[in-house]
Copies of this chain bind each other. A is one copy, B any other.
Amino acid sequence: MLRFSPPRGELLETSSEFTVQAGGAESNVAVAAARLGANTTWLSKLPKSPLGKRVESSIRQHGVTPAVAWDASTETRQGVYYLEHGAEPRPTTVLYDRRDAAITTVTPSELDTTTIESASLFFTTGITPALSATTTETTHKLLEVASAADTRTAFDLNYRAKLWEPADARETYESLFELLDLLFIPERDAHHVLGMSGSASEIAATLSETYNIETVVITRGEDGALALRDDSTVTQPIFETETVDPIGTGDAFVGGFLAEELTGSPLEQSLAVGSAAAALKRTLHGDVAVISRAEVANVLSDSGYGIDR
């Protein structure tokens, strides 16, 4: 998607300038992972227009290899979202404008699925299946392609209330769970969308057992994160941050986690890197975590925050 946002303290209704950036859950995760050293490819479908091209070049700029199906149809368009930064008590507001976006018509045959088959890990999110019946089916099939090729699968649930109803979302999610090796899920979505109760670790255990998911990561907002694998649970508090822009925090967390996971690190280290990436993202404007390994190491070592000169 493209993101249009007025400056902080100004409104969609009145601001004369919007900042333009590319962003989207999957690409945000890909960028965060790429910045931390992972070799990443991003599969998508974009309109053959300056706006579609903009999304592709932005992805590439940050070190991700784009593998785009170009859509020349005049029936589709570039998905857009409008972001209005809030300040207490005015919430940050997201206005989606993605009807008829090119991505809503994507089918597996349009994508280069050999990149999935040869990858170590395939990642997608719960936003894509929310867009259309076609993307629901495509998501399902791509996860099957990955499974069939023994490519590990990872999924960030990422429920969006403005895109679908909890019941619809739940049905789709549950149909996908058995295809997953790693699941990222916000605790509030487990409660609100999946109708689960209990503590974060109970939720993780239930999901892992019910759907035979190797690793379940529960994100808990201010309360940090928890990961379960092989019946063992690790937790990670959040790092203190001065927030410049909260959008993309969860994606940076997932990207950081996966980049570390792919190096073979232990679960707690992946969780820590994810949390550090999330904290660093919040200090930057835009959806994407333009961060580095050195910055993550600095956060993890708690080597101090001040002026580096």
Indicate if the CB atoms of B86 and A290 lie closer than 8 Å: no
Within 8 A of B (CB), among A47-96: 49-51, 53-54, 57-58, 60-63, 75, 77-78, 80, 82, 84, 86-96
Nearest-neighbor residue (CB-CB) of A89 within chain B: B299
Q: Give the segment of A111-119, A172-180, A253-261, A300-308 that binds chain B.
A: A300-308
Q: B89 contacts A283, CB within 8 Å?
A: yes
Measured CB to CB, the nearest residue on chain B to A295 is: B90
Kindly identify which residue among B51, B88, B92, B99 contacts A77, using a CB–CB cutoff of 8 Å.
B99
Binary interface encoding of chain A residues 138-175 relative to chain B, with 1 for a CB under 8 A from any of its CBs, else 0 = 00000000000000000000001110000000000000
Q: Does A121 contact B (CB under 8 A)?
A: no
Question: A84 vs B276: C-alpha distance in the bound complex, in angstroms?
Answer: 19
B99 with A9: CB separation less than 8 A:
no
A202 is an interface residue with CB less than 8 A from chain B: no
Tell me which residues from 246 to 301 in chain A have a Cβ below 8 Å from any Cβ of chain B: 246-247, 276, 279-280, 282-285, 290, 295, 298-299
Q: Are A58 and B61 in contact (CB under 8 A)?
A: yes
Contact A307–B61 (Cβ < 8 Å): no
Verify B306–A92 contact, CB threshold 8 A: yes
Give which listed residue, B90, B160, B276, B290, contacts A14 with CB less than 8 A.
B290
* A78 to B, closest residue via Cβ: B97
Name the B residues within 8 Å of A194 (CB-CB): none
**A11–B299 CA distance with the chains assembled, in angstroms:** 17
Q: Establish whether residues B14 and A17, one from each chain, have CB atoms under 8 Å apart when the complex forms.
A: no
B-contacting 9-mer, from A36-44, A209-217, A223-231, A236-244: A236-244
Q: Check if B9 sits within 8 Å of A245, measured CB to CB.
A: yes
CB atoms of A87 and B241 under 8 A apart: yes
Given contact pairs A13-B50, A13-B290, A14-B290, a sample of 7 additional A-B residue pairs in the complex whose CB atoms are under 8 Å apart:
A13-B54, A14-B54, A50-B82, A60-B63, A86-B307, A89-B239, A91-B308
Q: What are 30 inter-chain pairs, A to B, with CB distance below 8 A?
A: A9-B244, A11-B290, A13-B57, A14-B54, A14-B57, A15-B20, A16-B21, A17-B17, A17-B19, A50-B95, A51-B95, A58-B61, A61-B61, A77-B97, A86-B283, A87-B244, A88-B240, A88-B241, A88-B283, A89-B279, A89-B283, A89-B298, A89-B299, A90-B295, A91-B306, A91-B307, A92-B307, A92-B308, A99-B99, A246-B307
Which positions in A face B, CB cutoff 8 Å? 4, 8-21, 49-51, 53-54, 57-58, 60-63, 75, 77-78, 80, 82, 84, 86-97, 99-100, 160-162, 239-247, 276, 279-280, 282-285, 290, 295, 298-299, 304-309
